[in-house]
Amino acid sequence: MSLRLSHITLLTAVVLAVGAGHIQCVDAVELLGDSGPSEERQTAPAPAQREQLAANSSSEVSGPRDPIDASRRNALVEAIENTGPAVVTINVISIQRERVMDPFYFDFFDPFGFQRRGRQLRERRVESVGTGFFFDDRGHILTNNHVIENAHEIAVSLPDGRTLDVELVGQDNITDLAVLRVDGENVPSAPLGDSDDLYIGEWVIAIGNPFGILMNDPQPSVSVGVVSAKNRRVVPQAAPLRRLYQDMIQTDAAINPGNSGGPLVTARGEVVGVNTMIFSDGGGSVGLGFAIPINRARRVVDEILEYGRRRNPWAGFHVTDVRGLQDRVAQHLDLQTGQGVLVERILEDSPAYRAGLRVGDVITAIDGEPVVSSADVDYGVWSKFVGDTITIEVDRRGQTREFTFEIVELTR
């Protein structure tokens, strides 16, 4: 009877141990009693040993939690901590003028207002918010030009709660970049990286102030994604004055209204782009965001800091698409190719003319990149800075020629 009871007790101990998620065979041996050889008997631990066992058991329980806590503080968290303090909210007030009807005016002979008398010019203050970031220790802020365009008043709010007045150093509408400067002291700056050294698929962080007016909070928010593509050429339909977005970094990190001008940051904590635009049907992020590469932005910034503007590059010729020409015109010009753009005007004092380019030449490539339309020429020339060289490949009555010359500043 006692043997049967011992077996039942053993079985019960094993079942309970399994239910608790672990099996301890030592406890099962103790339940069988002192029936084995003396060298196999288990002896109760001394008090000092029990304390040591308890300490070891406690460390085993808490041990697995430490790697999890350590993993939470990853490279992305450190990158945000490294760059976030340099990100600012840009508060802009612009003045919009509109004509409104005087509610007390009524012309009996013109009840429908066809003559538009009685209309008054009214000014309306419009508030908007964008993002920027300090990029040096002299208080300079980089942002998008469309953030501060037509601004009547500009102020910036730092994450630490300070609000500082700023002055506009310079802006460039074509590249959509602007530089501001504050007089405050102890402003942090974000380290700049190398946008040419990006991998498609690597982690990036978009930092900014999406829908900043609604939140009314200077602390920036972050979104994480990857580099989806590089060297994108984007032609926004609504862009005024033909902004040229080229070599853009595409990312699926969420970029929303208010993020414009904020930094795109790598896991190293380095700025590699200026968040600029999105493709969206409803105004929110759908995973198609674009940033101006910081290497291009640096060159624009250098020009603005030295000259107060970006000096406009100029080559001195005008083109039209070959595809748009009528057949009889192409035959008259003796064109030997259906691809490229036709040089239809060129100034004799231009660098292109001095290099040998002539009216009637068909440009087929710029710096080795194929030219399909006149937009390719615009991108090719405007991607240059004053003093850069450009190589143009043309088809001249069936013969291929190359002309290399230096880009100069457009002064008129």
Catalytic residues: 146, 176, 260
The residue whose two tokens read 């208080």 is 139
> With contact defined as beta carbons under 8 Å apart, do 178 and 150 qualify?
no
Tell me how far the alpha carbon of residue 62 is from its chain's centroid: 41
Give the amino acid at 215.
M
Q: Cα(87)–Cα(398) distance, rounded to whole angstroms?
A: 55
> With contact defined as beta carbons under 8 Å apart, do 206 and 255 qualify?
yes
> With contact defined as beta carbons under 8 Å apart, do 347 and 353 qualify?
yes
Tokens read off for 150 = 């037509």
Nearest-10 Cα torsion for 283, 284, 289, 294: 80
Tokens read off for 279 = 């493709």
> With contact defined as beta carbons under 8 Å apart, do 393 and 339 qualify?
no
Tokens read off for 264 = 């795109």
Tell me how far the alpha carbon of residue 124 is from its chain's centroid: 32
Which sign, positive or negative, has the C-alpha torsion 313, 318, 321, 322?
Answer: negative
Q: Who contacts 100 (Cβ-Cβ below 8 Å, separation ≥6)?
A: 119, 120, 122
